[in-house]
A and B are shown apart, each in its own frame.
Chain A
Amino acid sequence: MRKTFDNRAWLLVLPVFLLVAFNAFIPLMTVVNYSVQDVFDSTHRAFVGADWYREMLHSDRLQNALLRQFVFSGLVLLIELPLGVAIALLMPKKGGWAASLTMVLIALPLLIPWNVIGTIWVIFLRPDIGLLGHFVDHTLGVHFDYPTVPLQAWVSVMLMEVWHWTPLVALLAYAGLRAIPDAYYQAARIDGASGWAVFRHIQLPKMRGVLTIAILLRFMDSFLIYTEPFVLTGGGPGDSTTFLSIYLVKLAVGQFDVGHAGAFSIIYFLIVLAFSYVFYQALQRVGTGAAR
Protein backbone atom coordinates (compact mmCIF):
# COMPACT_ATOMS: atom_id res chain seq x y z
CA MET A 1 0.00 0.00 0.00
CA ARG A 2 1.18 3.49 -0.88
CA LYS A 3 2.00 5.55 2.21
CA THR A 4 2.69 9.25 2.51
CA PHE A 5 5.81 10.48 4.23
CA ASP A 6 4.83 12.70 7.12
CA ASN A 7 6.87 13.11 10.27
CA ARG A 8 3.85 14.45 12.14
CA ALA A 9 2.83 10.78 12.42
CA TRP A 10 5.30 10.71 15.31
CA LEU A 11 2.68 12.57 17.35
CA LEU A 12 0.38 9.56 16.98
CA VAL A 13 3.13 7.16 18.00
CA LEU A 14 4.39 9.26 20.91
CA PRO A 15 2.13 7.78 23.65
CA VAL A 16 3.22 4.25 22.78
CA PHE A 17 6.84 5.35 22.55
CA LEU A 18 6.79 7.02 25.98
CA LEU A 19 4.94 4.17 27.66
CA VAL A 20 7.22 1.46 26.31
CA ALA A 21 10.33 3.56 26.91
CA PHE A 22 9.29 4.01 30.53
CA ASN A 23 8.53 0.32 30.98
CA ALA A 24 11.26 -1.28 28.95
CA PHE A 25 14.09 1.17 28.44
CA ILE A 26 14.61 2.33 32.02
CA PRO A 27 14.58 -1.25 33.39
CA LEU A 28 16.92 -2.37 30.64
CA MET A 29 19.39 0.34 31.60
CA THR A 30 19.14 -0.81 35.22
CA VAL A 31 20.06 -4.30 34.09
CA VAL A 32 23.03 -2.99 32.09
CA ASN A 33 24.11 -1.12 35.21
CA TYR A 34 24.00 -4.24 37.35
CA SER A 35 25.80 -6.28 34.74
CA VAL A 36 29.00 -4.22 34.98
CA GLN A 37 29.08 -3.51 38.72
CA ASP A 38 29.64 -5.41 41.92
CA VAL A 39 26.98 -4.16 44.33
CA PHE A 40 27.91 -4.55 48.01
CA ASP A 41 25.15 -2.45 49.50
CA SER A 42 23.18 0.65 48.58
CA THR A 43 26.18 2.98 48.76
CA HIS A 44 29.15 0.76 47.92
CA ARG A 45 29.60 -0.58 44.43
CA ALA A 46 32.60 -1.22 42.19
CA PHE A 47 32.91 -1.23 38.45
CA VAL A 48 33.94 -4.69 37.31
CA GLY A 49 33.77 -4.30 33.54
CA ALA A 50 32.98 -7.49 31.66
CA ASP A 51 33.78 -9.86 34.55
CA TRP A 52 30.21 -11.04 35.07
CA TYR A 53 29.81 -11.63 31.34
CA ARG A 54 33.01 -13.66 31.20
CA GLU A 55 31.95 -15.77 34.15
CA MET A 56 28.43 -16.33 32.84
CA LEU A 57 29.61 -17.26 29.34
CA HIS A 58 31.90 -19.88 30.84
CA SER A 59 29.31 -21.15 33.27
CA ASP A 60 28.35 -24.78 32.66
CA ARG A 61 24.92 -24.22 34.16
CA LEU A 62 24.15 -21.43 31.70
CA GLN A 63 25.44 -23.39 28.73
CA ASN A 64 23.39 -26.40 29.75
CA ALA A 65 20.28 -24.28 30.28
CA LEU A 66 20.81 -22.71 26.85
CA LEU A 67 21.19 -26.10 25.17
CA ARG A 68 18.13 -27.39 27.00
CA GLN A 69 16.19 -24.33 25.89
CA PHE A 70 17.05 -24.82 22.22
CA VAL A 71 16.15 -28.52 22.35
CA PHE A 72 12.87 -27.64 24.02
CA SER A 73 11.90 -24.87 21.58
CA GLY A 74 12.96 -27.04 18.62
CA LEU A 75 10.81 -29.93 19.80
CA VAL A 76 7.91 -27.56 20.39
CA LEU A 77 8.02 -26.43 16.74
CA LEU A 78 8.54 -29.96 15.40
CA ILE A 79 5.54 -31.34 17.26
CA GLU A 80 3.10 -28.45 17.44
CA LEU A 81 3.25 -27.22 13.84
CA PRO A 82 2.33 -30.48 12.03
CA LEU A 83 -0.15 -31.40 14.74
CA GLY A 84 -1.81 -27.97 14.64
CA VAL A 85 -2.09 -28.03 10.85
CA ALA A 86 -3.55 -31.56 10.98
CA ILE A 87 -6.18 -30.46 13.50
CA ALA A 88 -7.04 -27.41 11.41
CA LEU A 89 -7.58 -29.65 8.38
CA LEU A 90 -9.99 -31.78 10.42
CA MET A 91 -12.08 -28.82 11.57
CA PRO A 92 -15.40 -28.16 9.76
CA LYS A 93 -14.85 -26.08 6.62
CA LYS A 94 -18.16 -24.25 6.85
CA GLY A 95 -19.25 -22.08 9.74
CA GLY A 96 -22.20 -23.11 11.88
CA TRP A 97 -22.59 -24.35 15.40
CA ALA A 98 -20.18 -27.29 15.02
CA ALA A 99 -17.37 -24.99 13.91
CA SER A 100 -18.15 -22.47 16.67
CA LEU A 101 -18.23 -25.15 19.36
CA THR A 102 -14.98 -26.68 18.11
CA MET A 103 -13.27 -23.29 18.16
CA VAL A 104 -14.47 -22.38 21.64
CA LEU A 105 -13.29 -25.74 23.02
CA ILE A 106 -9.93 -25.60 21.24
CA ALA A 107 -9.29 -22.05 22.42
CA LEU A 108 -10.07 -22.93 26.04
CA PRO A 109 -6.51 -23.90 27.15
CA LEU A 110 -5.19 -20.58 25.79
CA LEU A 111 -7.18 -18.58 28.33
CA ILE A 112 -6.21 -20.46 31.45
CA PRO A 113 -3.66 -18.64 33.66
CA TRP A 114 -0.27 -20.24 33.24
CA ASN A 115 0.13 -21.32 36.84
CA VAL A 116 -3.27 -23.01 36.64
CA ILE A 117 -2.03 -24.86 33.54
CA GLY A 118 0.77 -26.16 35.75
CA THR A 119 -1.71 -27.03 38.50
CA ILE A 120 -3.99 -28.90 36.07
CA TRP A 121 -1.09 -31.05 34.97
CA VAL A 122 0.18 -31.65 38.51
CA ILE A 123 -3.29 -32.92 39.40
CA PHE A 124 -3.46 -34.94 36.17
CA LEU A 125 0.00 -36.51 36.40
CA ARG A 126 0.46 -37.32 40.07
CA PRO A 127 0.73 -41.10 40.48
CA ASP A 128 -1.59 -41.10 43.49
CA ILE A 129 -4.44 -38.77 42.53
CA GLY A 130 -3.84 -38.03 38.83
CA LEU A 131 -5.77 -39.84 36.12
CA LEU A 132 -2.86 -40.15 33.70
CA GLY A 133 -0.23 -40.67 36.38
CA HIS A 134 -2.30 -43.40 38.00
CA PHE A 135 -2.99 -45.00 34.60
CA VAL A 136 0.70 -45.15 33.66
CA ASP A 137 1.85 -46.23 37.11
CA HIS A 138 -0.80 -48.78 38.01
CA THR A 139 -2.49 -49.93 34.81
CA LEU A 140 0.52 -49.91 32.51
CA GLY A 141 2.81 -50.96 35.33
CA VAL A 142 5.57 -48.46 34.41
CA HIS A 143 6.99 -46.86 37.52
CA PHE A 144 5.92 -43.24 37.07
CA ASP A 145 7.26 -40.50 39.30
CA TYR A 146 7.92 -37.45 37.14
CA PRO A 147 9.32 -35.23 39.93
CA THR A 148 12.31 -37.56 40.41
CA VAL A 149 12.97 -39.11 36.97
CA PRO A 150 14.48 -36.56 34.53
CA LEU A 151 13.18 -38.24 31.35
CA GLN A 152 9.65 -38.43 32.76
CA ALA A 153 9.87 -34.80 33.84
CA TRP A 154 10.79 -33.85 30.26
CA VAL A 155 7.99 -35.92 28.74
CA SER A 156 5.55 -34.37 31.22
CA VAL A 157 6.62 -30.80 30.44
CA MET A 158 6.45 -31.50 26.68
CA LEU A 159 3.02 -33.08 27.02
CA MET A 160 1.74 -30.07 28.94
CA GLU A 161 3.28 -27.65 26.43
CA VAL A 162 1.80 -29.48 23.42
CA TRP A 163 -1.58 -29.65 25.13
CA HIS A 164 -1.44 -25.96 26.01
CA TRP A 165 -0.23 -24.37 22.76
CA THR A 166 -1.09 -26.65 19.83
CA PRO A 167 -4.56 -25.01 19.84
CA LEU A 168 -2.94 -21.67 18.93
CA VAL A 169 -1.27 -23.22 15.87
CA ALA A 170 -4.52 -24.98 14.96
CA LEU A 171 -6.55 -21.77 15.17
CA LEU A 172 -3.98 -19.82 13.13
CA ALA A 173 -3.85 -22.53 10.45
CA TYR A 174 -7.66 -22.71 10.47
CA ALA A 175 -7.87 -18.96 9.89
CA GLY A 176 -5.60 -19.41 6.87
CA LEU A 177 -7.71 -22.27 5.53
CA ARG A 178 -10.97 -20.37 5.93
CA ALA A 179 -9.58 -17.55 3.78
CA ILE A 180 -9.21 -19.84 0.74
CA PRO A 181 -12.03 -19.14 -1.75
CA ASP A 182 -14.24 -22.10 -2.72
CA ALA A 183 -13.35 -21.60 -6.38
CA TYR A 184 -9.86 -22.98 -5.71
CA TYR A 185 -11.28 -26.27 -4.45
CA GLN A 186 -13.72 -26.48 -7.36
CA ALA A 187 -10.91 -25.97 -9.85
CA ALA A 188 -8.89 -28.67 -8.09
CA ARG A 189 -11.84 -31.06 -8.27
CA ILE A 190 -12.28 -30.44 -12.00
CA ASP A 191 -8.59 -31.15 -12.51
CA GLY A 192 -9.00 -34.35 -10.52
CA ALA A 193 -6.35 -33.30 -7.97
CA SER A 194 -5.65 -35.73 -5.13
CA GLY A 195 -6.11 -34.74 -1.50
CA TRP A 196 -2.33 -34.45 -1.09
CA ALA A 197 -2.05 -32.23 -4.19
CA VAL A 198 -4.76 -29.92 -2.85
CA PHE A 199 -2.87 -29.68 0.45
CA ARG A 200 0.55 -29.22 -1.14
CA HIS A 201 -0.38 -26.73 -3.86
CA ILE A 202 -3.39 -24.86 -2.50
CA GLN A 203 -3.73 -25.11 1.27
CA LEU A 204 -0.09 -25.01 2.33
CA PRO A 205 0.90 -21.97 0.21
CA LYS A 206 -2.21 -20.12 1.39
CA MET A 207 -1.27 -20.81 5.01
CA ARG A 208 2.25 -19.44 4.61
CA GLY A 209 1.47 -16.10 6.25
CA VAL A 210 -0.32 -17.49 9.29
CA LEU A 211 2.19 -20.31 9.72
CA THR A 212 5.03 -17.75 9.79
CA ILE A 213 3.20 -16.00 12.63
CA ALA A 214 2.71 -19.38 14.31
CA ILE A 215 6.43 -20.19 14.10
CA LEU A 216 7.33 -16.74 15.39
CA LEU A 217 4.93 -16.83 18.34
CA ARG A 218 5.59 -20.44 19.29
CA PHE A 219 9.36 -20.15 19.10
CA MET A 220 9.55 -16.92 21.06
CA ASP A 221 7.02 -17.86 23.72
CA SER A 222 8.53 -21.30 24.28
CA PHE A 223 11.93 -19.61 24.53
CA LEU A 224 10.60 -17.46 27.40
CA ILE A 225 8.63 -20.20 29.15
CA TYR A 226 8.67 -19.94 32.93
CA THR A 227 5.48 -20.44 34.91
CA GLU A 228 4.09 -23.74 33.61
CA PRO A 229 7.24 -25.88 34.05
CA PHE A 230 8.03 -24.05 37.28
CA VAL A 231 4.71 -25.13 38.79
CA LEU A 232 4.94 -28.66 37.37
CA THR A 233 8.56 -29.56 38.11
CA GLY A 234 10.16 -26.52 39.76
CA GLY A 235 12.96 -26.87 37.19
CA GLY A 236 13.89 -30.29 38.55
CA PRO A 237 14.76 -32.97 39.21
CA GLY A 238 18.15 -31.37 39.67
CA ASP A 239 18.42 -28.90 36.81
CA SER A 240 16.90 -31.17 34.20
CA THR A 241 13.94 -28.92 33.31
CA THR A 242 15.57 -25.61 34.25
CA PHE A 243 15.00 -23.48 31.15
CA LEU A 244 16.58 -20.05 30.69
CA SER A 245 13.88 -18.01 32.44
CA ILE A 246 13.70 -20.40 35.38
CA TYR A 247 17.46 -20.22 35.80
CA LEU A 248 17.44 -16.43 35.53
CA VAL A 249 14.74 -16.02 38.19
CA LYS A 250 16.65 -18.44 40.44
CA LEU A 251 19.74 -16.24 40.10
CA ALA A 252 18.09 -12.83 40.32
CA VAL A 253 15.30 -13.34 42.86
CA GLY A 254 16.36 -16.54 44.61
CA GLN A 255 20.05 -15.82 45.16
CA PHE A 256 19.82 -12.05 44.56
CA ASP A 257 23.03 -12.37 42.56
CA VAL A 258 22.29 -9.25 40.52
CA GLY A 259 25.70 -9.03 38.86
CA HIS A 260 25.57 -12.45 37.27
CA ALA A 261 21.83 -12.13 36.67
CA GLY A 262 22.34 -8.79 34.94
CA ALA A 263 24.98 -10.17 32.59
CA PHE A 264 22.83 -13.23 31.96
CA SER A 265 19.83 -10.98 31.22
CA ILE A 266 21.75 -9.04 28.59
CA ILE A 267 23.02 -12.23 26.93
CA TYR A 268 19.48 -13.68 27.01
CA PHE A 269 18.04 -10.48 25.62
CA LEU A 270 20.58 -10.33 22.78
CA ILE A 271 19.75 -13.91 21.74
CA VAL A 272 16.05 -13.05 21.73
CA LEU A 273 16.79 -9.88 19.77
CA ALA A 274 18.73 -11.79 17.12
CA PHE A 275 15.92 -14.28 16.65
CA SER A 276 13.27 -11.54 16.64
CA TYR A 277 15.17 -9.83 13.84
CA VAL A 278 15.35 -12.98 11.71
CA PHE A 279 11.65 -13.69 12.23
CA TYR A 280 10.71 -10.06 11.64
CA GLN A 281 12.49 -10.12 8.30
CA ALA A 282 10.71 -13.36 7.38
CA LEU A 283 7.40 -11.81 8.35
CA GLN A 284 8.07 -8.67 6.30
CA ARG A 285 8.79 -10.81 3.24
CA VAL A 286 5.57 -12.76 3.71
CA GLY A 287 3.69 -9.55 4.32
CA THR A 288 4.77 -8.03 1.02
CA GLY A 289 4.70 -11.30 -0.90
CA ALA A 290 1.86 -13.07 -2.67
CA ALA A 291 0.39 -14.41 0.56
CA ARG A 292 -0.91 -11.02 1.59
Chain B
Amino acid sequence: MKTGWRATVLAAYLALLLLPIYWMLNMSLRENSDIMSQLAFLPLHPTLQNYAQIFTDRAWYSGYLNSLAYVSINTVISLAVALPAAYAFSRYRFLGDKHLFFWLLTNRMAPAAVFLLPVFQLYTALGLIDSYIAVALAHTIFNVPLAVWILEGFMSGVPREIDETAFIDGYSLPRFFVAVFLPLIRAGVGVTAFFCFMFSWVELLFARTLTITEAKPIAAVMTRTVSASGLDWGLLAAAGMLTIVPGALVIYFVRNYIAKGFALGRV
Protein backbone atom coordinates (compact mmCIF):
# COMPACT_ATOMS: atom_id res chain seq x y z
CA MET B 1 0.00 0.00 0.00
CA LYS B 2 1.49 3.29 -1.09
CA THR B 3 -0.48 5.45 1.30
CA GLY B 4 0.47 3.02 4.07
CA TRP B 5 4.19 3.77 4.13
CA ARG B 6 3.57 7.49 3.68
CA ALA B 7 1.37 7.56 6.77
CA THR B 8 3.90 5.46 8.69
CA VAL B 9 6.83 7.74 7.87
CA LEU B 10 4.77 10.81 8.70
CA ALA B 11 3.66 9.28 12.00
CA ALA B 12 7.29 8.47 12.82
CA TYR B 13 8.27 12.09 12.13
CA LEU B 14 5.45 13.39 14.32
CA ALA B 15 6.53 11.04 17.10
CA LEU B 16 10.11 12.33 16.91
CA LEU B 17 8.78 15.89 16.87
CA LEU B 18 6.74 15.33 20.00
CA LEU B 19 9.35 13.30 21.89
CA PRO B 20 11.30 16.27 23.37
CA ILE B 21 8.03 17.93 24.38
CA TYR B 22 6.82 14.68 25.94
CA TRP B 23 10.08 14.44 27.87
CA MET B 24 9.50 17.87 29.37
CA LEU B 25 5.91 16.89 30.25
CA ASN B 26 7.29 13.79 31.93
CA MET B 27 9.74 15.93 33.97
CA SER B 28 7.02 18.39 34.91
CA LEU B 29 5.02 15.61 36.58
CA ARG B 30 7.86 14.49 38.83
CA GLU B 31 9.58 15.87 41.88
CA ASN B 32 13.16 17.00 41.52
CA SER B 33 14.57 14.27 43.77
CA ASP B 34 12.71 11.67 41.68
CA ILE B 35 14.11 13.16 38.45
CA MET B 36 17.67 13.11 39.71
CA SER B 37 17.49 9.59 41.13
CA GLN B 38 16.45 7.64 38.03
CA LEU B 39 15.68 7.89 34.32
CA ALA B 40 12.16 6.66 33.58
CA PHE B 41 10.17 6.94 30.39
CA LEU B 42 6.92 7.17 32.34
CA PRO B 43 6.52 9.21 35.53
CA LEU B 44 6.36 6.47 38.18
CA HIS B 45 5.21 8.79 40.96
CA PRO B 46 3.27 11.46 39.07
CA THR B 47 2.54 14.64 40.99
CA LEU B 48 0.96 17.97 40.13
CA GLN B 49 2.94 19.70 42.85
CA ASN B 50 5.08 21.69 40.36
CA TYR B 51 1.98 23.07 38.68
CA ALA B 52 0.35 23.82 42.01
CA GLN B 53 3.38 25.84 43.05
CA ILE B 54 3.17 27.95 39.87
CA PHE B 55 -0.56 28.61 40.17
CA THR B 56 -0.40 29.64 43.83
CA ASP B 57 2.67 31.89 43.73
CA ARG B 58 1.88 35.36 42.45
CA ALA B 59 5.44 35.93 41.21
CA TRP B 60 4.93 32.91 38.97
CA TYR B 61 1.46 33.32 37.56
CA SER B 62 1.77 37.07 37.11
CA GLY B 63 4.51 36.24 34.60
CA TYR B 64 1.92 34.56 32.39
CA LEU B 65 -0.49 37.47 32.75
CA ASN B 66 2.27 39.95 31.88
CA SER B 67 3.21 38.00 28.78
CA LEU B 68 -0.41 37.75 27.63
CA ALA B 69 -0.91 41.48 28.27
CA TYR B 70 1.95 42.76 26.13
CA VAL B 71 1.32 40.18 23.41
CA SER B 72 -2.32 41.33 23.14
CA ILE B 73 -1.43 45.03 23.12
CA ASN B 74 1.21 44.37 20.48
CA THR B 75 -1.24 42.46 18.25
CA VAL B 76 -3.80 45.28 18.45
CA ILE B 77 -1.26 48.04 17.70
CA SER B 78 0.33 46.07 14.86
CA LEU B 79 -3.00 45.38 13.16
CA ALA B 80 -4.28 48.92 13.65
CA VAL B 81 -1.33 50.58 11.92
CA ALA B 82 -0.64 47.83 9.39
CA LEU B 83 -4.16 47.60 7.91
CA PRO B 84 -4.26 51.07 6.28
CA ALA B 85 -0.61 50.83 5.24
CA ALA B 86 -1.08 47.44 3.60
CA TYR B 87 -4.10 48.82 1.73
CA ALA B 88 -2.01 51.73 0.46
CA PHE B 89 0.77 49.39 -0.72
CA SER B 90 -1.67 47.02 -2.42
CA ARG B 91 -3.78 49.70 -4.20
CA TYR B 92 -1.64 52.78 -4.86
CA ARG B 93 1.69 53.82 -6.22
CA PHE B 94 3.18 56.78 -4.40
CA LEU B 95 6.45 58.61 -4.00
CA GLY B 96 9.03 56.22 -2.56
CA ASP B 97 6.63 53.31 -2.13
CA LYS B 98 9.13 50.60 -3.11
CA HIS B 99 11.86 52.05 -0.91
CA LEU B 100 9.49 52.37 2.01
CA PHE B 101 8.34 48.76 1.65
CA PHE B 102 11.93 47.54 1.55
CA TRP B 103 12.89 49.69 4.52
CA LEU B 104 10.00 48.20 6.49
CA LEU B 105 11.11 44.67 5.60
CA THR B 106 14.68 45.37 6.72
CA ASN B 107 13.30 46.02 10.18
CA ARG B 108 11.75 42.55 10.24
CA MET B 109 15.27 41.31 9.60
CA ALA B 110 17.21 43.65 11.85
CA PRO B 111 19.01 41.80 14.64
CA ALA B 112 17.28 42.40 17.98
CA ALA B 113 20.75 42.38 19.51
CA VAL B 114 21.61 45.55 17.55
CA PHE B 115 18.63 47.49 18.87
CA LEU B 116 18.67 46.15 22.40
CA LEU B 117 20.80 48.73 24.15
CA PRO B 118 19.61 51.87 22.28
CA VAL B 119 15.95 50.88 22.60
CA PHE B 120 16.50 50.37 26.31
CA GLN B 121 18.03 53.84 26.60
CA LEU B 122 15.29 55.45 24.49
CA TYR B 123 12.50 53.88 26.53
CA THR B 124 14.26 54.75 29.78
CA ALA B 125 14.44 58.38 28.69
CA LEU B 126 10.70 58.33 28.01
CA GLY B 127 9.88 56.56 31.28
CA LEU B 128 8.39 53.54 29.53
CA ILE B 129 10.64 50.91 31.06
CA ASP B 130 9.00 48.07 32.99
CA SER B 131 5.56 48.51 31.45
CA TYR B 132 3.50 46.36 29.08
CA ILE B 133 3.50 49.12 26.53
CA ALA B 134 7.32 49.13 26.38
CA VAL B 135 7.52 45.49 25.33
CA ALA B 136 4.47 45.82 23.05
CA LEU B 137 6.06 48.82 21.30
CA ALA B 138 9.46 47.16 20.99
CA HIS B 139 7.87 44.09 19.40
CA THR B 140 6.26 46.26 16.73
CA ILE B 141 9.78 46.63 15.25
CA PHE B 142 9.45 43.17 13.71
CA ASN B 143 5.69 42.60 13.86
CA VAL B 144 4.50 45.71 11.99
CA PRO B 145 6.63 45.03 8.88
CA LEU B 146 5.50 41.39 8.95
CA ALA B 147 1.85 42.40 9.34
CA VAL B 148 2.08 44.85 6.43
CA TRP B 149 3.73 42.16 4.32
CA ILE B 150 1.13 39.45 5.05
CA LEU B 151 -1.87 41.78 4.74
CA GLU B 152 -0.57 43.21 1.46
CA GLY B 153 -0.43 39.64 0.10
CA PHE B 154 -4.02 38.94 1.08
CA MET B 155 -5.31 42.34 -0.07
CA SER B 156 -3.69 42.01 -3.49
CA GLY B 157 -5.75 38.85 -3.95
CA VAL B 158 -8.96 40.93 -3.84
CA PRO B 159 -9.87 42.31 -7.29
CA ARG B 160 -9.62 46.09 -7.61
CA GLU B 161 -13.01 46.20 -9.30
CA ILE B 162 -14.62 45.68 -5.89
CA ASP B 163 -13.12 48.94 -4.64
CA GLU B 164 -14.10 50.82 -7.77
CA THR B 165 -17.69 49.57 -7.71
CA ALA B 166 -18.03 50.54 -4.06
CA PHE B 167 -16.64 54.04 -4.68
CA ILE B 168 -19.09 54.52 -7.58
CA ASP B 169 -21.86 53.40 -5.23
CA GLY B 170 -20.89 56.33 -3.03
CA TYR B 171 -18.89 54.61 -0.29
CA SER B 172 -16.22 56.74 1.38
CA LEU B 173 -12.81 55.07 1.81
CA PRO B 174 -13.13 54.46 5.58
CA ARG B 175 -16.70 53.14 5.27
CA PHE B 176 -15.80 50.92 2.31
CA PHE B 177 -12.78 49.62 4.22
CA VAL B 178 -14.71 48.64 7.33
CA ALA B 179 -18.00 47.51 5.79
CA VAL B 180 -16.90 45.84 2.55
CA PHE B 181 -13.16 45.24 2.46
CA LEU B 182 -12.40 43.96 5.96
CA PRO B 183 -14.97 41.14 5.77
CA LEU B 184 -13.40 40.05 2.46
CA ILE B 185 -9.94 39.68 3.97
CA ARG B 186 -10.93 38.45 7.43
CA ALA B 187 -8.93 35.24 6.93
CA GLY B 188 -5.88 37.42 6.24
CA VAL B 189 -6.55 39.51 9.35
CA GLY B 190 -6.85 36.33 11.42
CA VAL B 191 -3.63 34.95 10.01
CA THR B 192 -1.84 38.25 10.65
CA ALA B 193 -3.08 38.38 14.23
CA PHE B 194 -1.86 34.81 14.65
CA PHE B 195 1.63 35.70 13.42
CA CYS B 196 1.84 38.85 15.57
CA PHE B 197 0.77 36.80 18.57
CA MET B 198 3.26 34.09 17.72
CA PHE B 199 6.33 36.26 17.24
CA SER B 200 5.58 38.44 20.26
CA TRP B 201 4.93 35.38 22.44
CA VAL B 202 8.17 33.60 21.53
CA GLU B 203 10.49 36.64 21.72
CA LEU B 204 12.47 36.99 24.90
CA LEU B 205 15.45 39.28 24.41
CA PHE B 206 13.45 42.54 24.30
CA ALA B 207 10.82 41.31 26.72
CA ARG B 208 13.43 40.50 29.32
CA THR B 209 15.56 43.59 28.84
CA LEU B 210 12.74 46.14 28.91
CA THR B 211 11.12 44.82 32.06
CA ILE B 212 12.48 44.77 35.58
CA THR B 213 9.77 43.52 37.91
CA GLU B 214 6.27 44.79 37.13
CA ALA B 215 5.93 43.54 33.56
CA LYS B 216 8.33 40.61 33.65
CA PRO B 217 7.39 37.93 31.08
CA ILE B 218 6.98 34.32 32.13
CA ALA B 219 10.02 33.36 30.11
CA ALA B 220 12.17 35.55 32.33
CA VAL B 221 10.47 34.42 35.54
CA MET B 222 11.62 30.90 34.69
CA THR B 223 15.13 31.76 35.84
CA ARG B 224 13.66 31.67 39.37
CA THR B 225 13.95 27.87 39.35
CA VAL B 226 17.64 28.24 40.11
CA SER B 227 18.03 28.05 43.86
CA ALA B 228 20.85 27.42 46.30
CA SER B 229 20.41 23.66 45.88
CA GLY B 230 20.75 23.86 42.10
CA LEU B 231 18.09 23.79 39.42
CA ASP B 232 14.60 22.58 40.14
CA TRP B 233 14.09 20.65 36.89
CA GLY B 234 10.51 19.63 37.66
CA LEU B 235 9.43 23.20 38.30
CA LEU B 236 11.30 24.47 35.22
CA ALA B 237 9.62 21.81 33.07
CA ALA B 238 6.16 22.64 34.44
CA ALA B 239 6.66 26.34 33.71
CA GLY B 240 7.83 25.44 30.23
CA MET B 241 4.80 23.23 29.60
CA LEU B 242 2.48 26.06 30.59
CA THR B 243 4.10 28.38 28.03
CA ILE B 244 3.11 25.90 25.30
CA VAL B 245 -0.59 26.02 26.19
CA PRO B 246 -1.52 29.47 24.76
CA GLY B 247 0.25 28.65 21.50
CA ALA B 248 -1.50 25.30 21.20
CA LEU B 249 -4.89 26.95 21.82
CA VAL B 250 -4.22 29.61 19.19
CA ILE B 251 -3.14 27.01 16.60
CA TYR B 252 -6.28 24.99 17.28
CA PHE B 253 -8.49 27.98 16.50
CA VAL B 254 -6.72 28.92 13.27
CA ARG B 255 -5.99 25.34 12.12
CA ASN B 256 -8.06 25.69 8.94
CA TYR B 257 -6.11 28.78 7.88
CA ILE B 258 -2.66 27.54 8.84
CA ALA B 259 -1.74 26.16 5.42
CA LYS B 260 -2.61 29.32 3.53
CA GLY B 261 -1.53 31.54 6.39
CA PHE B 262 2.01 30.26 6.46
CA ALA B 263 2.29 31.13 2.78
CA LEU B 264 1.50 34.72 3.86
CA GLY B 265 -1.27 34.91 1.27
CA ARG B 266 1.23 34.35 -1.52
CA VAL B 267 0.12 31.07 -3.06
By a beta-carbon cutoff of 8 Å, the part of chain A in contact with chain B is 1-10, 12-13, 15-17, 19-20, 23-24, 26-28, 30-31, 87, 90-91, 95, 100, 102-116, 119-121, 123-124, 128-132, 134, 163, 167-168, 171-172, 174-176, 178-179, 209-210, 213, 220, 223-224, 226-227, 244-245, 248-249, 252-253, 258, 261, 265, 268-269, 272-273, 275-277, 280, 287, 292
Contacts and interface: CB of A to CB of B under 8 A. Distances in A.
Contacts of A105: 14, 17-18
B258 interface: yes
Nearest to A110: B198
A91 B9 CA distance: 10
B248 A7 contact: no
A13 B18 contact: no
26 contacts: A9-B94, A9-B97, A10-B88, A15-B80, A15-B84, A16-B82, A17-B100, A109-B17, A110-B198, A112-B244, A123-B233, A123-B237, A124-B20, A124-B23, A131-B19, A131-B23, A175-B263, A178-B259, A223-B111, A226-B205, A245-B113, A248-B113, A248-B114, A269-B110, A269-B114, A276-B102
Contacts of B93: 3-6, 9
B102 A280 contact: yes
> What secondary structure prevails in chain A residues at the interface with B?
helix
Interface in B155-182: 156, 160
B129 interface: no
A30 B118 contact: yes
Q: Identify the interface centre among A5, A90, A252: most chain B CB within 10 Å of its CB.
A: A90
A227 B251 contact: no
B114 A172 contact: no
Interface string B75-95: 001001110110111111111
Contact of B14 (A3, A106, A116, A268): A106
